Structure 1
Amino acid sequence: MDHVPPSSQHDVMKVKLFLSITKPGIILGNLITVIGSFFLASQDVLNIGVFLLLIVGISCVIASGCVFNNIIDKDIDSVMERTAKRVLVQGLMSDRTALRYALILGGLGFLCLLNINLLSFLFGLIGWFFYVVIYSLWAKRQSVYGTMIGSVSGAMPMAVGYCAGANRIDSGLMILVLISIFWQIPHSYAIGLFRSDDYKKANIPLFSILYENKKVTVHCLLYIVVFTLLCGTLYLLDYAGTFYLLVMMLLCFYWIWLTLRGFYTLYVKKWARSMFVFSIVIISSFSLLIGFNY
């Protein structure tokens, strides 16, 4: 059996710590939408150099925001079961080290985006600022509408991807941003519902746990209907093809049907989890479909 030197084990552990604090799952989820919007805007003309800069740049910017979020949320993470084992909460990394790491990631990420074009850099900066400053430092803890405010930052990666491919602001960009916003709100409400115990412990004023399930379901339904209309608009404006329309409408109608079940379910958390899972399925499918542009 091979013997791994203690120093090597220590190095591997350090790498794992630095990786986990960036929230890789969030980065990967955003990369799917970034790549889809980039290919949609590129119109089958792939610039490998720009694509690589985009992947590295947006990954580092998102990672920077997530590390800052870990620092800011250290106090509330310690009381939530889901986050109690995070690196900073357990004292496995100092806040100062995490801060330096976040700044380095941000600097590298923004430098990459700036080397693509100014629009990609600006939308990346808007997304980072909304997530770190407006959402993490204020809205998440103080406002019942924190989810809506946070959705602005969540929509920016798709804007960055589109601008990296097209380098312009047009109707396609605006529709993508709105689609992302109207997708995120029911997605986040679902998270709040099935993880309500944790959020209550941390005194986070989520809309989906402060109001009764019927009202939350109505709001989810409205957002999903608008999401559906916006998805159709991409086809009507000739940004996507017939195959995209057929698949997306089937998925959207299923999401609407799934949402309607929330009005009479006796198992709210189970329903919310299914809403969350399907929201991941539909945004991933959407990104794949606009990327192929059929």
Structure 2
Amino acid sequence: MTKVMDPSWEKVNEKTVSKEQNLSTLFADLKSLFKAIVLISNVLPVLTGFWLALYFTNGTFLANWDVFLLTISGSTLVMAGALILNNWYDVDIDTVMERTKNRPTVTGNFTLKFVFRLGIILSVVGLVLLAFTTIEAAVYAFIGWFTYVILYTMWSKRRYTLNTVIGSVSGAVTPLIGWAAIAPGYHIVPIVLTLILFIWQMPHTFAIAMKKVEEYSLAKVAMLPVVHGFNFTKRQMVIYVACLLPLPFFLGSLGTVFVIIASLMNIGWLIATIAGFFTKNDMKWAHLMFMCSVNYVAILFTLMILVTLPVFN
């Protein structure tokens, strides 16, 4: 006997599949809107700054767990708000560039009015949360937000190759946010961490700009490789990576192991950067530089936490 399929079951199944697809699309849109990878990578220096402040002030995590939650949630919301506002403002550029054409601001899955309001709300709520830790931490977060949203996104990105220098300030203040939630930020450690991040972002961003030079050129964004070419960009990358060489020696309080490993990482990255002048495949080399930069900051800031754990002291 042939089994007859119940039409109502087919409709239920179609609705279930449609609902799952909608949820999947929503998740992908939110991930793109929040620039999830960028957001997560910026939270790590906040965490490192917070942890090191506890270490150098002889504080304990358990005694400051509430401050930790406020710091991480507040800084994450401020950075998320800034990234969302960047998406809102750059919708015309994102429409042209291949790597950004599927963002919800471009596809219309989220209205620009909604995106703008969400960015403002998250930014304000994040700053308020940080203000419950210390005003200094909130000030650093606001400096990062203002630099990224106003000075970088709205003013310099489309006009000047110095946009990378300006934009680097926003990422550089992240360890100061974490540190200042516990102690004043004029200590040598958070200052050097800020310098590391500021300098690091230059070759990191240049590598991305080289990889996507045709897209940036089409979108008329004044990135260094677009305006001055690859050779000039490579020289700049060598200079900035070389500037990282002395910085680990200002962090001797983190121990000899840290200084040695950080120095070896700097030397290795510098050698790989210089190799760019001898490469026959600029795109492959630019990708290598991008991977070096991503792993560099992740390893370095994780190492700072590891060498200060109680088990190593």
In the alignment, what sits opposite 1:50? Answer: 67
In the alignment, what sits opposite 2:35? Answer: 23
Once the two structures are superposed, residues 181-230 of structure 1 have per-residue CA deviations (whole angstroms, 9 ceiling, x without a partner) of 11000110111001111111101111133223332222111111111211
In the alignment, what sits opposite 1:264? Answer: 278
Once the two structures are superposed, residues 167-191 of structure 1 have per-residue CA deviations (whole angstroms, 9 ceiling, x without a partner) of 3322222211111111000110111
**Partner letter of residue 296 of structure 2?**
I
Computing the radius of gyration from Cα coordinates, the structure with the larger value is 2
Q: CA deviation at 1:13?
A: 4.5
In the alignment, what sits opposite 2:6? Answer: none
Q: Distance in 2 between matches of 1:9 and 1:115?
A: 40
CA contact (8 A) 2:29 2:103 kept: no
CA contact (8 A) 1:40 1:293 kept: no
Q: Could you tell me the TM-score, scaled by structure 1's length?
A: 0.93
Q: Could you tell me the TM-score, scaled by structure 2's length?
A: 0.88
**Equivalences for residues 34-113 of structure 1 within 5 A:** 34-43=46-55, 45-46=60-61, 47-113=64-130
Q: Percent identity?
A: 30
Q: Distance in 2 between matches of 1:209 and 1:231?
A: 33
Q: Distance in 1 between matches of 2:299 and 2:23?
A: 38
**Partner letter of residue 297 of structure 2?**
I
CA contact (8 A) 1:37 1:291 kept: no
The answer to whether structure 1 residue 232 and structure 2 residue 249 are counterparts is yes
**Partner letter of residue 289 of structure 1?**
L
Deviates more, 1:79-88 or 1:160-169: 160-169
CA contact (8 A) 1:193 1:208 kept: yes
Residue 256 (structure 2) aligned to one of 232, 242, 250:
242
In the alignment, what sits opposite 1:117? Answer: 134
Number of residues of Structure 1 aligned to a counterpart in Structure 2: 291
**Partner letter of residue 252 of structure 1?**
N
Q: CA deviation at 1:163?
A: 1.3
The alignment's C-alpha RMSD in Å is: 1.9
**Partner letter of residue 34 of structure 1?**
V
In the alignment, what sits opposite 2:303? Answer: 289
In the alignment, what sits opposite 1:220? Answer: 237
Residue 251 (structure 1) aligned to one of 249, 261, 265:
265
Q: Distance in 2 between matches of 1:9 and 1:182?
A: 42
Q: CA deviation at 1:11?
A: 5.8
Give the gaps of 5 or more residues in structure 2.
1-8, 309-313
Q: CA deviation at 1:289?
A: 1.5
**Equivalences for residues 184-199 of structure 1 within 5 A:** 184-199=201-216
Q: Distance in 1 between matches of 2:185 and 2:45?
A: 18
**Partner letter of residue 166 of structure 2?**
I
Residue 172 (structure 2) aligned to one of 139, 147, 155:
155
Q: Distance in 1 between matches of 2:80 and 2:234?
A: 32
Q: Distance in 2 between matches of 1:223 and 1:31?
A: 23
Q: Distance in 1 between matches of 2:205 and 2:25?
A: 32
CA contact (8 A) 2:176 2:185 kept: no
**CA gap 1:212/1:94 in 2 versus in 1, 3 angstroms:** closer
Once the two structures are superposed, residues 138-181 of structure 1 have per-residue CA deviations (whole angstroms, 9 ceiling, x without a partner) of 11101111100100111121221121232332222221111111
**Partner letter of residue 298 of structure 2?**
S
Once the two structures are superposed, residues 27-78 of structure 1 have per-residue CA deviations (whole angstroms, 9 ceiling, x without a partner) of 1111122111221121162121111111111111111001100010000100
Q: CA deviation at 1:17?
A: 3.0
Q: Which has the higher contact order (CA 8 A, sep 6+)?
A: 1
- For the residue of structure 1 that corresponds to 2:50, the secondary structure is helix
**Partner letter of residue 287 of structure 1?**
F
